[in-house]
Structure 1
Amino acid sequence: MLRPRQLRPATLIEKGSKGAFCCALLLTAGCALEAGSPQEGVGTAEQKIAGGILAPDDPAIVGLEGAGKIGCTGVLVSPRVVLTAAHCLDGDVIRAVLFGSSADGGDTIGVLRGWKHPDHQTHSANHDLGLLLLDAPSDVPPLPLNHEPLTSANAGAHVRIVGFGQTGMDDTAAPRKRQGTSILASVSPSTLTIEPSPARPCVGDSGGPVLQTRGEREVIVGIVSKGAATGADRAEAARVDAALEGFLRPLLAMIEATSGELGDPCALDDNCGAGLCLSPEDAPSFAYCSRPCATSADCLPDMECAPEGPDRHVCRYDGPSPGALGAPCQDHGGCEFGLCAVFAADAPAICSALCFPEDERTCPHGGECTLIPGTDGTFGCAIREEEGAPEGGCSCATPPGARESGDGVVTFCWAALTAAWIRRKGGGRRE
């Protein structure tokens, strides 16, 4: 099950209701499209997706289940990882993914954790990408990601879209997987635009893949995000190739790792050489590899050998964990609550949390609600020295992609996370 704003062991990321993510798709008076001339591989007897046909032969395209319904689509990109839209991770918890062609049948696999692209902003197609970690591997062959940069030269090419969306705004039938053909109309730095030919996405197709044939195979070139402002006949998708280095490759590498060292980031126990991935209570989004210990000499210099249950001790950070309130930070993505702030001119940057002085419980996780210098009235929770961390932090307002309190999702900043671990690991074992 999904861990919140991160990766907390049993917190699920649920999918939003139709009303919550309707605006992130093609908000039109109705998604039904006037069918154009038949395209190769696209039938006309039942103009669905809208404008497509049933798709029983796409086992890697899955439905995201939450709150008793399928609210979004996703695509398997490795045996335990599903790629979808970041906005699909807002709202109701995603409890499982459905492998099959209809909500009325098929197999499901539970969801452990989820990540959103750190640069994604609500209601924007830019960087609208998320990953879900399954609690067991699937034997379905995953679909490959596109590794070749898209350019304006790709405009005009046919692409295939697949999803569990509605066939129209008045469609109340159980979701069924459908496919259709569209045209890649334009390419921007982080998104692509598709036009019907004759198919287009509708509500519930968010997170589904935009597929293009390269050579002898189809690759995922984009993930369906939203309708474009230029008209109802266009839809936007987040480009996969634009997110490879800063989001997809590092996360997939971490998930597939099997020999992580003490202090390395992790998602599963299997990622760690000692078989122990620890999610600290003060920063559960920033899980790290630990190991059993007898004394603190078995741990890194700024770790201690702490009790873990009645029968064993494990290595934990002594003081705030990386990403926790009061921990040193370089940017917002390196903090549990998505805010890195400086509270005094000569102070270092530390992780904080957005707060509002008028609230009764302004800083429930600790610290005092303090004005961040250099901002337009933004307040953050500042940890006092007596609370175990120096005051300080970079003068900045709430950043793009900052996590919202309680969304149950982690926004992943690989560079910040890796840098934090490098700083904390600093030298090896204590002597």
Structure 2
Amino acid sequence: MFRLTLIVGFFCIASVALEDSSEDNDRIIGGRNIAITEAPYQISMQNKGIHFCGGSIISPKVVLTAAHCIAGVDGVSLSDLTCRAGSTMWSNGGQVRNIVAMISHPKYNPKTKEADIGVLILSPAFKFDTGVKPIKLADGVPTDGKAGIISGWGVTRDKGVIVSTMLKCAEVTSISRKNCSQPPWDYGDEILPSMICARGDGKDACQGDSGGPYVSKATNKLWGVVSWGRGCAREAYPGVYTAVVAFKKWITKHIEENK
């Protein structure tokens, strides 16, 4: 299941309940509230000002996200789409930029979820400051047991409709592709060479976190893009991420073309 929150295109945007700030705000799922300065590369992808996906700033004009986030707004006017950066809240503050182009990887396959990665081209460029910074791309994938950080404004429980007003993060642990394919998780051949698995006890990305960052805790470099999973933190099934390194040449090309 992809981790896109809102249904768009031929349908109206689904109404989204906001998290009551008086409730226990302890999760992305299983995480904690953070200030945007802890993840200054994080953006909210929005349709008419409503959050539906995440993304990562990789240059002043380029954001990395999931291809299924781009596919999810098929039929929506490009003029309605924006990115907000530099704010802990997706609904206000920070810097808002127009999305002038959306490019999915040419090998993206929605059935197999292969190459679930894409870029957003923005105008005008972001102005970097303490709350708005690019993240460097990792040169490899994590081995078993490495700590990583996921973040976003997605729903806060499996099968939920409540999205967080505040940015949240959680620490997850990497699982090799081989182990992710075998018991107890049994993803089998759904896990392709360009995917990464990670999990935590009761911790996971969920709907609305799609396209967002999966970052190495040790190096603060971008390992992956939130893609899909079996539910959210359900029976501790790993979340699945698109491996950035598998598409690094393609990503770099778009950075160079949009300086």
TM-score bracket, shorter-length normalisation:
0.7 to 0.9
Among 193, 201, 205, the alignment partner of 2:197 is 193
Aligned partner of residue 204 in structure 1, secondary structure = coil
Tell me the secondary structure at the aligned position of residue 82 of structure 1: strand
Larger radius of gyration between Structure 1 and Structure 2: 1
SS in 2 for 1:89: helix
Greater RCO, 1 or 2 (C-alpha within 8 Å, sep 6+): 2
Task: State the alpha-carbon separation in 2 of the partners of residues 191 and 102 from structure 1.
Answer: 29
User: Which letter does structure 2 place at the counterpart of 1:207?
Assistant: G
Partner of 1:137: 125
Task: Name the CA distance, whole Å, in 2 between partners of 1:17 and 1:52.
Answer: 19
Determine if the alignment matches structure 1 residue 55 to structure 2 residue 58: no
Amino acid at match of 1:242: A
Determine the C-alpha separation between the residues in 2 that align with 1:76 and 1:85: 13
Q: Which residue in 1 is equivalent to 2:184?
A: none
TM-score, length of structure 1 as denominator length = 0.46
| Identity across matched positions, percent | 24
Which residue identity is paired with 1:249? T
Paired with 1:83 and 1:150, the residues of 2 have a C-alpha distance of 17
Q: 1:120 aligns with which of 83, 108, 118?
A: 108
Q: Which structure 1 residue ranges, 5 or more long, are not aligned? A: 1-15, 22-44, 257-431
Alignment of 1:55-134 (within 5 A): 55-56=34-35, 57=37, 58-92=39-73, 93=76, 95-99=81-85, 100-107=87-94, 108-134=96-122
Q: Structure 1 residues 146, 173: closer, same or farther in 2, change over 3 A?
A: closer
Distance 1:198 1:174 in 2: 17
Map 1:320-331 onto structure 2 (within 5 A).
Answer: none
Give the superposition deviation at 1:101: 1.2
Equivalent residue, structure 1, for 2:180: none
The whole-number CA distance in structure 2 between the counterparts of 1:204 and 1:173 is 7
Any conservation in 1 of the 2:98–2:122 contact (CA below 8 Å)? Answer: yes
The counterpart of 2:171, out of the listed 164, 168, 181, is: 181
- Paired AA for residue 96 in structure 1: T
Q: Would you say the 8 A contact 1:212–1:221 is kept in 2?
A: yes
Q: Secondary structure at the match of 2:136?
A: coil
Residue deviations 1:106-151 (CA, integer Å, cap 9, x gap): 231111111101111114332111100110111222011112x226
Q: Which letter maps to 1:110? A: N
Q: What letter corresponds to residue 225 of structure 1 in structure 2?
A: S
Q: Deviations over 1:160-188 (max 9, x none)?
A: 10111010233435543110011111235
Question: Secondary structure at 2:208's aligned position in 1?
Answer: coil
| 2:151 aligned residue | 162
Contact 1:150 1:241 in 2 (8 A): yes
In structure 2, what is the equivalent of residue 234 of structure 1? Answer: 238
Any residues of structure 2 matched to 1:7-86 within 5 Å, and which?
18-19=6-7, 46-56=25-35, 57=37, 58-86=39-67
Give the structure 2 partner of residue 150 of structure 1. 141
Q: Secondary structure at the match of 1:142?
A: coil
Give SS of 2:175's match.
strand
TM-score for the superposition, normalised by structure 2: 0.74
Pair 1:253-2:256 in alignment: yes
Structure 2 residues without counterparts, runs of 5 or longer = 10-23, 178-191
Q: Secondary structure at the match of 2:248?
A: helix
Give the Cα–Cα distance (whole angstroms) in 2 for the partners of residues 165 and 96 of structure 1: 17
User: Per the alignment, do residues 173 and 225 of structure 1 end up closer, same or farther by CA in structure 2, a change over 3 Å counting?
Assistant: closer
Change (3 A) 1:19 1:124: farther
Question: CA–CA distance in 1 between the matches of 2:153 and 2:117?
Answer: 18
User: CA 1:206/1:124 → structure 2, altered by over 3 Å: closer, same or farther?
Assistant: farther
- Matched with 1:292 is none
Contact persistence 1:80–1:133 (CA under 8 A): yes
- Write the distance in 2 (CA, Å) between the matches of 1:157 and 1:173: 28
Does the 8 Å contact 2:65/2:212 carry over to 1? yes
Tell me by how many angstroms 1:103 deviates.
Answer: 2.5
Question: 1:105 deviation in Å?
Answer: 1.6
Distance of aligned partners of 1:237 and 1:125 in 2 relative to their CA distance in 1, 3 Å threshold = farther
Match of 2:215 in 1: 211
Change (3 A) 1:183 1:144: same
Separation (CA, whole Å) in 2 of partners of 1:228 and 1:120: 20
Q: CA shift at 1:197, angstroms?
A: 4.0
Give CA-to-partner distance per residue, 1:218-276, whole Å, 9 cap, x none: 000000100149x832211000001112x2122222222xxxxxxxxxxxxxxxxxxxx
Amino acid at match of 1:97: C
**Aligned partner letter, 1:180:** A
Structure 1 segment 336-347 matched on structure 2, within 5 A:
none
Shift of 1:46: 3.5
| Alpha-carbon distance change, 66 to 20 in structure 1, aligned in 2, over 3 angstroms | closer
